[in-house]
């Protein structure tokens, strides 16, 4: 397509006076699936951008801050992370990072919208090529339904979902996280995308009210991603046994390759929350 001069404005949060604007010079693909509208655009600042239902999913420039942190924090806290499930994750970035851990023997990916995977194969091959690895198995199913028949099966479950709107709504309920608990082995860990400390305080607080009832160990940590709401995004760390700081294995970090964001000191620091979050969220 020919070059253009447009500005993309993310609608999510606009009702509260917040608006992300990114200059775009090329629309590479537009696709309507049964689940969502997908755009791939090019930005002179951020490179290629994946947009689902008007919300930025990733950019080539800053995706590492998200994908490295959602993966390496739980995998460097578990002594033997062999079998891993990714719910969502259709861009392939989370799987790419998982495959950097030689202990991992199997990665199941449950993505409800197969078109996301195909779009990312075309436009983000450095992420989506990870789906071709022999350890990876793709299931095009609803995550909540997928878990019903898989009890005590996974060492790690990563919920790499969209925001709690549209097809991602069912992945933020107490019933869903009880299913996550049941699908983990006796010492399993679950990590999920958990929105922004600055913009979604009430949502995070409500989520942790029931996460604490389900899991013996819970914590919130965060990463910096300039194109996400407020420039950061957080994660819930939920574990049946292991603590993300007390059981952290820094020696494992040394074996990881091609890291742009994550490192051993940052692992620990990411759990240190600002005063307002410690006081208001009580997580």
Active site residues: 160
**Alpha helices (H) in 76-200, listed in sequence order:** 93-98, 114-123, 125-128, 143-147, 174-183
Listed residue (28, 24, 52) closest to 38, CA to CA: 52
- Could you count the other beta carbons within 10 Å of the beta carbon of residue 7? 9
Instruction: Check residue 281 and report its DSSP letter.
Output: H
Residue in the structure block whose two tokens are 């739980």: 74
Q: Which tokens belong to 32?
A: 């309507």
Q: Which tokens belong to 30?
A: 């537009």
Rounded to whole angstroms, how far apart are CA atoms 252 and 101?
9
Residue in the structure block whose two tokens are 């801050």: 65
Give the DSSP H/E element, type plus range, for residue 31: strand 26-32
Rounded to whole angstroms, how far apart are CA atoms 212 and 270?
20
SS (H, E, C) 31-97: EECCCCEEEEEEECCCEEEEEECCEEEEECCCHHHHHHHHHHHHHCCCCCCCEEEEEECCCCHHHHH
**Strand, helix or coil for residue 24:** strand
- Could you count the other beta carbons within 10 Å of the beta carbon of residue 107? 24
Instruction: Check residue 106 and report its DSSP letter.
Output: E
């Amino acid at each position: 397509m020919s070059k253009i001069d447009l500005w993309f404005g993310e609608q999510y949060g606009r009702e509260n006076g917040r608006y992300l604007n990114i200059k775009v010079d090329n629309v590479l693909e537009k696709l309507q699936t049964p689940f969502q509208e997908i755009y791939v655009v090019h930005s002179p600042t951020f490179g290629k951008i994946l947009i689902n239902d008007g919300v930025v999913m990733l950019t080539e420039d800053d995706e590492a801050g998200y994908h490295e942190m959602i993966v390496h924090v739980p995998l460097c806290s578990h002594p033997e992370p062999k079998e891993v499930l990714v719910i969502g994750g259709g861009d392939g970035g989370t799987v790419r990072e998982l495959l950097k851990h030689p202990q991992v023997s199997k990665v199941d990916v449950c993505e409800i919208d197969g078109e996301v995977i195909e779009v990312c194969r075309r436009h983000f091959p450095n992420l989506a090529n990870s789906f071709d690895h022999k350890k990876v198995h793709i299931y095009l199913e609803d995550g909540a339904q997928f878990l019903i028949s898989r009890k005590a099966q996974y060492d790690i479950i990563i919920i790499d979902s969209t925001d709690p709107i549209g097809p991602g709504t069912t992945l933020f309920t107490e019933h869903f996280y009880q299913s996550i608990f049941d699908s983990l082995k006796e010492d399993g860990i679950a990590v999920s995308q958990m929105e922004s400390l600055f913009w979604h305080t009430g949502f995070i607080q409500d989520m942790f009210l029931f996460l604490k009832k389900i899991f013996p160990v819970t914590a919130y940590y965060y990463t910096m991603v300039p194109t996400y709401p407020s420039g950061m995004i957080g994660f819930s760390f939920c574990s049946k046994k292991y603590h993300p700081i007390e059981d952290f294995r820094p020696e494992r970090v040394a074996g990881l390759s091609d890291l742009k964001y994550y490192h051993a000191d940052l692992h620990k620091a990411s759990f240190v929350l600002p005063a307002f979050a410690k006081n208001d969220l009580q997580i």
